[in-house]
Amino acid sequence: MSAPADLLQPALEAALRDYLAHVRVERGLSTNTVAAYRRDLGRYARYLAEAGRSALDEVTEHDVRSFLAAVREGSDGGRALSAASAARSLAAVRGWHRFARAEGLTTEDPSAEVAAPTQTRRLPHALSVDAVARLLAAASSGDTPAGLRDRALLELLYSTGGRISEVVGLDVDDVGSDALVRLFGKGSKERIVPVGSYARDAVDAYLVRARPVLVAAGSARGRSTPALFLNTRGGRLSRQSAWAVLQGAAERAGLTEHVSPHTLRHSFATHLLAGGADVRVVQELLGHASVTTTQIYTMVTPEALREVYAATHPRAL
């Protein structure tokens, strides 16, 4: 059963407040990441309060292990978490305890020896090159301002491998005339990514023939924004609206498989590696902090196994 907010002891509340300020200001984590930390650590703090802990220096390794088991089962009153979500929650807990030790609030780190749940390593879902071509061809529902914008948006997502938040967060000045785009990833970390000719042409068409119309709609409402992608009211296009654009294109393309903005990112990486790109180059393009994250794309797909088997085994056909 979840503890009420007023059950938290002042020392726990103060320690949590200080840590969230640290990750937001000193580490420069994004608003979404800080919000996730607040949710995970708020749940942890309530669990500790129910266990009778009034400060971090009272927490034991058993408490951390018990919390991890509780969130996996949902026995603390919250939603049961998958292995991946529980591992994310444990990472937040570890960060808080490391910070507390560095700040002299505790002398030990009770989370140091607690292992994260084992996660099943699954291949990211990627579209075939043909499916991506059909999707992008169906991106524009017509030669309208919204249609030109939608085509430019999806072309840029696939051309750069950017996250949806990175692409809708672009300003006009972030797209250079040198076929490069400046993306801001997690923690506002900047990276420069090349843009292919198809995406450049689509963005140019949007900037010349569509964005001025959308800007005028915003000006009529007293709005002005440097955002690259605008909605029909002249404001920055939201992630939810960009998701709807993608879903509409997938339906028009007749794609029956699940397609999300991250599907285009996975497709970008998979197609680069299949074409012979070095995994560390793909790491840089995706903005992964560790090459280990990128290496999942190097796993052999079932389709590739079948192709090699059919081409090489003497009794395959």
Alpha-carbon distance of 98 to 60, in angstroms, equals 14
Catalytic residue among 98, 182, 186, 191: 186
Single out the catalytic residue among 37, 47, 158, 297. 297
CB 110, CB 63: distance < 8 Å = yes
- Which is the catalytic residue, given 149, 211, 236, 288? 288
| DSSP H or E stretch at residue 191 | strand 190-194
| Catalytic option among 39, 79, 233, 262 | 262
151 noted as active-site residue = no
Q: Are 111 and 97 in contact (CB under 8 A)?
A: yes
CA angle 179, 32, 2 (to 5 degrees): 160
Q: Which of 53, 265, 266, 271 is catalytic?
A: 265
**211-214 contacts: CB < 8 A, separation 24 or more?**
211/145, 211/149, 211/172, 213/145, 214/145, 214/149
Residue 149 bears catalytic tag: no
Please say if 315 is a catalytic residue.
no
Residue 236: DSSP 8-state: B
Within 8 A by CB and 6+ apart from 190, the residues are 182, 183, 184
Catalytic member of 46, 53, 134, 163: 163
44 is catalytic: no
Examine the residue annotation and report whether 186 is marked as an active-site residue of this protein. Answer: yes
- 288 catalytic per annotation: yes
Radius of gyration of the chain (CA): 24
Report the distance separating Cα 25 and Cα 311, nearest Å. Answer: 56
Residues identified as active-site: 163, 186, 262, 265, 288, 297
